[in-house]
């Protein structure tokens, strides 16, 4: 299941290899992503020691959600 896709990346770049991965998210992050508040337009993934890292992605918090843990 994919909530956010970067469709423009396939037009702007040559995608050599494709990976599918999951993220560990807090509850407020899940709610914000479902509300369309994720920005991945400038994001990219780097591989370091067999791990994938998402760089440059941003999730804007909802104004009605508490981020205090």
Spatial contact of 54 and 39, defined as CB atoms under 8 Å apart: no
Q: Is the pTM of this model over 0.75?
A: no
The pLDDT score that the predictor gives to residue 10 is 81
pLDDT tens, the chain, 69 aa long: 666 677 777 888 888 888 777 888 898 898 998 898 988 888 888 889 988 888 999 999 888 756 566
The pLDDT score that the predictor gives to residue 68 is 64
């Amino acid at each position: 299941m994919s909530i956010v896709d970067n469709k423009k990346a396939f037009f702007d770049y040559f995608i050599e290899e494709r990976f599918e991965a999951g993220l560990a998210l807090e509850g407020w992050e899940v709610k914000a992503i479902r509300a369309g508040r994720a920005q991945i337009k400038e994001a990219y993934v780097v591989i370091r020691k067999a791990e994938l890292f998402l760089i440059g992605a941003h999730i804007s918090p909802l104004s009605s959600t508490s981020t205090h843990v």
